[in-house]
Amino acid sequence: MRRGRLIRKLNDGLNCFTGGARVKEVGYNTFFFQDTKGSKLLVSNTLVMQFNDSKHTSSFYMMPLSKGFYTLRIDTRKKRRL
């Protein structure tokens, strides 16, 4: 897996992280994600998970993938402290 990078941090508290994964054989892959309301996980620009709950939450998703390279993106919102 490639090392991710922070591509933007906006005033509204949105952080966007990108990276990638190379799948070497056809099969199901499990994605585990833990974050807060408004967070999203995208695999090759396909929305896989989105949290609409206001509590901290976690979830996993099994997704069939073919051989190849896939981009990963995580959008997460952090509450601003006043």
DSSP per position, 17-33: EEEEEEE-SSEEEEEEE
Q: pTM of the predicted model, to two decimals?
A: 0.70
pLDDT at 5: 53
Give the type of residue at 11: N
pLDDT digits (tens, 9 = 90+) for 20-63: 999 999 999 888 877 777 788 899 999 988 877 666 567 788 98
For the record, the structure tokens of 5 come out as 């990078």
pLDDT at 2: 47
All domains of the chain in start order, with CATH: 2-77 (2.60.120.260)
Using alpha carbons, select from 22, 70, 21, 16 the residue that is nearest to residue 38: 16
